[in-house]
Structure 1
Amino acid sequence: MSSPPFSRAEMSASSPSQAKEQDDDTKPLWTYVTKIKSVGGGENYEIKCNICDVTFNEFYTRVRTHLLKIIGKRVRGCQKITNAKLIDLKKIDNEATLRVEKSKTKFVSLPPVSTQHQMDTNTLGVDPKKRKTSTVESTFNLQARETLDHEIARMFYSLGLPFHLARNPHYRKTFAYAANNYISGYQPPGYNKLRTTLLQNEKRHVENLLQPIKNAWSQKGVSIVSDGWSDPQRRSLINFMAITESEPMFVKAIDCSNEIKDNDFIAKHMKEVIMEVGPSNIVQIVTDNAVVCKAAGLIIEAQFPSIY
């Protein structure tokens, strides 16, 4: 059995009755809880988790539910177990499950192969050679995992989502958070919530992340960098970024597909960005060497002598 992922200091002293349970390596998770007292006789106890100090009246099955954060049960998962410790606990529990199964098969006397084959086929209607259920499958809930994989894949296929979305760290964090937290009855946000409340909250979140960069503009100075490009819809765009010694920051992009991109047009949008960033914060504007950009630069220098 793997060594416990917690130190002895993290576990309370065990009672004599519990020590006997701990000697049984088929129930290793008793180590991480303390039995306070028996409730109603039998194997039902008032139990205290040594990790989060939560108490509940249950037996070993509920101890597993609590420590392994099994979703859909009455006992809430332990909130102080990290993902790394959860992996260790699941490994310990899986090894114990395999030991139980091994001990069962060790003492079970099976009929002859031909008789067993006929009995399984007649009673279950399934050839045992074609059955794929196993201890490992039931332990790791492989069928549920496979079903969830298919549902996620259908979401990609039905909407034509790019496959590289699966590499997005927020995509992976979403499912990891849902798998490791007990959120009974949770429904994902719908169409209206995504485009209103959550969008506004995320905008405020991004603005808070950018505020330290903006605060550095007056101290270190800013270079405005601009260039033209075409997006996947072949629209002609001009983007503007504010560059400082610390970090760059995207300011805006202009769709100029139906515009005449002369020096006055470019100078107008340069001025808008200058006023947004603050003329006193800007040292220079960097563009390509197109004729209209050079002409726009002269207009800006005439209006803002401190900007090169």
Structure 2
Amino acid sequence: MSSSYSASCNVSGSSNSSESMKDPYPLWKFVVKGDKISGGGGNYNWKCNFCGEVKNGSYTRVKAHLLGEQGKGIQVCNKVKIDDLAKLRKLHPTSVRLGSSDNVKKRKSNNTISDAFNMKSRDQFDSEISRMFYTGGLPFNLTRNPYYVSSYTIAANSNHSGYKPPGYNKLRTTLLCKEKENVDRLLQLIKETWKTKGVSIVSDGWSDPQRRPLINIMIASKKGPMFMKAIDCSGEIKDKDFIATLLSEVIDEIGDQNVVQIITDNASNCKVAGELVEGRYPHIYWTPTLKQ
């Protein structure tokens, strides 16, 4: 194993596509490669520059770890931010099969008729995608989402020519539940620090587009803020007792031993509610925010 694993995890946006295409393994730059595993082919011990965890495997596992590819036999990196993920996916030449330069050359064709058909197909794809945006009222900013780009790239370069995108029911049931499990797994890494570092409960009221009165509950900790829930207060009187009860329920849900303070605005009902909470939990402090 290499004696030093210290390295920067900054993803530079200055690398151009031509440079990345010359290197079929660009993501090795974002891990610290250690010793090669004996008898393991292209497998190495390596350390991720983002999460700092030591892993082992080939470039395929490095790619899966950094780009968040599931089912590759390795845990995805939870420290890669969305902006970095977009840059990493741009660096990786997804349209090129790694280690198959000969195959790439074979795919190149000077046949102008074939090129014309390919161009016509691309134009048709562009038209279908644009119509989806226009008829569905989708914001153009969606095209900057890295998952928008990667979904079409993977579909275009996969061997599943008969693939069809998920329909209405699958999106709102099976896939939604699967993604919820994925988000819960990522949030669990934050929750695991609550017992040792403590948290602050932050609460504030607002109205949604339907003008329903809501109270937001956020959890702030050393690992970062986390949205917990929004409570619909329609038909409720938001007096001191109601707010104190709501905050107490959140404290009990998290575990009062993990809570350091609660933060609300300095309205009179919130101030009294904070005093009530302090009376129930002597080790928890109420902290007001100042109105602008």
TM-score range, shorter chain: 0.5 to 0.7
Is 2:236 the partner of 1:225?
no
Is 2:249 the partner of 1:272?
yes
Aligned to 2:175: 198
Aligned to 2:76: none
RMSD: 3.4
Using a 3 Å threshold, how does the CA distance of structure 1 residues 218 and 93 change in structure 2: closer, same or farther? Answer: same
Query: Structure 1 residue 259: deviation in Å?
Result: 2.4
CA contact under 8 A between 1:222 and 1:244: conserved in structure 2?
A: yes
Aligned length: 199
Unaligned runs of 5+ in 1: 8-51, 53-80, 102-134
Is 2:212 the partner of 1:235?
yes
Q: Deviations over 1:151-195 (max 9, x none)?
A: 122222222223322222222221121112111321222222222
CA contact under 8 A between 1:224 and 1:242: conserved in structure 2?
A: yes
**Aligned partners of 1:167 and 1:149: how far apart in 2?**
16
Structure 2 SS opposite 1:287: strand
Query: Structure 1 residue 209: deviation in Å?
Result: 0.7
Structure 1 SS opposite 2:150: helix
Query: Structure 1 residue 239: deviation in Å?
Result: 0.7
Aligned to 2:165: 188
1:216 to 183, 188, 193: 193
Unaligned runs of 5+ in 2: 1-18, 26-59, 61-91, 286-292
Q: Deviations over 1:184-241 (max 9, x none)?
A: 3212222222222212111111111111111100100101111122223333221111
**Aligned partners of 2:113 and 2:202: how far apart in 1?**
57
Using a 3 Å threshold, how does the CA distance of structure 1 residues 270 and 153 change in structure 2: closer, same or farther? Answer: same
Aligned to 2:132: 155
Q: Deviations over 1:13-36 (max 9, x none)?
A: xxxxxxxxxxxxxxxxxxxxxxxx
TM-score (norm 1): 0.56
Query: Structure 1 residue 245: deviation in Å?
Result: 1.0
Aligned to 1:29: none
**Aligned partners of 1:157 and 1:172: how far apart in 2?**
18
CA contact under 8 A between 2:204 and 2:215: conserved in structure 1?
A: yes
Is 2:256 the partner of 1:288?
no
Structure 2 SS opposite 1:83: coil
1:83 to 85, 94, 100: 94
Percent identity between matched residues is: 53
TM-score (norm 2): 0.59
Aligned to 2:120: 143
Aligned positions of 1:1-308 closer than 5 A:
82-83=93-94, 85=96, 93=105, 97=109, 100=110, 135=112, 138=115, 141-308=118-285
Using a 3 Å threshold, how does the CA distance of structure 1 residues 282 and 197 change in structure 2: closer, same or farther? Answer: same
**Aligned partners of 2:223 and 2:271: how far apart in 1?**
28
